[in-house]
Amino acid sequence: MQDFEKILENNNVKPTAMRLLVLQFLLNKKVATSLTDVENYFDKSDRTTLYRTLKTFVEKGISHKIDDGTGITKYALCEENCHCEIDNDLHLHFHCTNCNETICITDYKIPRITLPTGYIAENINLVVKGICDKCNKK
Amino acid sequence: MQDFEKILENNNVKPTAMRLLVLQFLLNKKVATSLTDVENYFDKSDRTTLYRTLKTFVEKGISHKIDDGTGITKYALCEENCHCEIDNDLHLHFHCTNCNETICITDYKIPRITLPTGYIAENINLVVKGICDKCNKK
DNA sequence: TTGAAGTATGCAACAGAAGTGCATTATTTT
DNA sequence: AAAATAATGCACTTCTGTTGCATACTTCAA
């Protein structure tokens, strides 16, 4: 409990009840989570509050935003070894078309990309779609 | 004109007036195009018709669908040297955050990705965001 | 400790994109 | 020409993301 509060406070986010719950939820869920996912879990709370909570988390560097190509924004608290949070950093996400989950694959490193002259890369997003580990076993 | 009809017929799509116009539009526009783009261009026609026209093009292999991470589905008829259309093929798209255009970069080849055991890749989507050629010159 | 200022929350509402159902129109086939 | 099939256009729904505004809750200074 104390830990969660520390995470928020360290990032200049006031630890309200809702924020603690959302943080806890994201920490438990290891996969990228959509606003709707969070909404369904906390069916008592308001969409907007959750939306703004997630937005705050992203702004304050607690969570990051993922475009997994499904058209639905995902959020994820990355683990220590995940380099998803900074600018030109590597982003490899796996989206399972069966269970619809988006997983952060931290092992794979994206090689440097040489763009045609004149192009400036600010951000790289690599999404692999297919069948994940769990679904494959079934 | 005949050429356009051939393209459609070769892919088992009946060449209606609307479809020919949309095809022509996509051919002229070298960048990835959203439904709204098409809609704005043909302001007389109905959204649904255009939506279904694009859907048909994708289904019949004339065009392909692009997830460029903006949350808006884009469509593009790729040129001969673009390998965007089949299964495990390379997809490199550049999305310019300035002019908001999504460009198919055919020169860059995506290296084979080794996923953790159990994962099956069906599709790879690599989107680089930044400033494009044209915007850079300005 | 009260009151003001600041922040968070919840409700309502809106915008844009995607998608469906159905009736109408056009095209093809027999 | 009639029947069957396909395309189109309209209306409407759903879902995600987002903003505005009023209310509630904190914090902090007088």
CB atoms within 10 A of CB B113: 16
What local confidence, expressed as pLDDT, does residue A61 receive?
85
Looking at the predicted structure, is the pLDDT value of residue B82 above 70?
A: no
User: What is the residue type of A102?
Assistant: T
Looking at the predicted structure, is the pLDDT value of residue A79 above 70?
A: no
Rounded to an integer, the average pLDDT of B116-130 is 87
B36 touches chain A (CB under 8 A): no
CB A72 within 7 Å, strand C: no
B71 touches chain A (CB under 8 A): yes
Can you read off the two tokens belonging to residue A87? 């600018």
User: What is the residue type of A51?
Assistant: Y
Looking at the predicted structure, is the pLDDT value of residue B117 above 80?
A: yes
Rounded to an integer, the average pLDDT of A34-58 is 93
Nucleotides of D strand lying within 7 Å of any protein CB atom: 6-11, 15-20, 27
pLDDT band of residue B107 (cuts 50, 70, 90) is confident
Give the residue ranges of DSSP H helices in chain B: 2-10, 17-28, 35-41, 47-59, 133-137
Cα–Cα dist B7/A123, whole Å: 36
A69 touches chain B (CB under 8 A): yes
CB B47 within 7 Å, strand C: yes
C27 C1' to B29 CA distance, Å: 30
Better-predicted residue by pLDDT, B91 or A30: A30
Helix (H, G, I), strand (E, B) or coil at B23: helix
Mean residue pLDDT across chain A:
84
Most A CBs within 10 Å, among B64, B127, B131, to test the A interface: B127
Q: How open is the CA angle A88-A91-A94, to the nearest 5 degrees?
A: 170
What local confidence, expressed as pLDDT, does residue B81 receive?
47
Strand partners, B121: A130
**Domain holding B90: CATH number?**
1.10.10.10
In chain B, residues with a C-beta closer than 8 Å to the C-beta of A117 are: 133
Among B69, B115, B72, smallest CA distance to B92 is for B69
Domain housing A8: 2-137
pLDDT band of residue B87 (cuts 50, 70, 90) is very low
Cα–Cα dist B51/A7, whole Å: 45
What local confidence, expressed as pLDDT, does residue A54 receive?
96
Rounded to an integer, the average pLDDT of A101-120 is 83
Number of domains in chain B: 1
Half-sphere exposure of A103 (CA within 13 A, CB side): 22
What local confidence, expressed as pLDDT, does residue A41 receive?
93
pLDDT per residue over B43-73, tens digit each? Answer: 778 999 999 999 999 988 888 888 887 889 9
Residue A17, Cβ density class (10 Å: 0-12 exposed, 13-18 middle, ≥19 buried)? exposed
Most A CBs within 10 Å, among B95, B125, B135, to test the A interface: B125
pLDDT per residue over A1-42, tens digit each? Answer: 457 888 899 889 999 999 999 999 999 887 899 999 999 998
Cα–Cα dist A138/B17, whole Å: 48
pLDDT per residue over B12-28, tens digit each? Answer: 999 999 999 999 999 98
Q: How open is the CA angle A51-A55-A56, to the nearest 5 degrees?
A: 120
Better-predicted residue by pLDDT, A30 or B75: B75
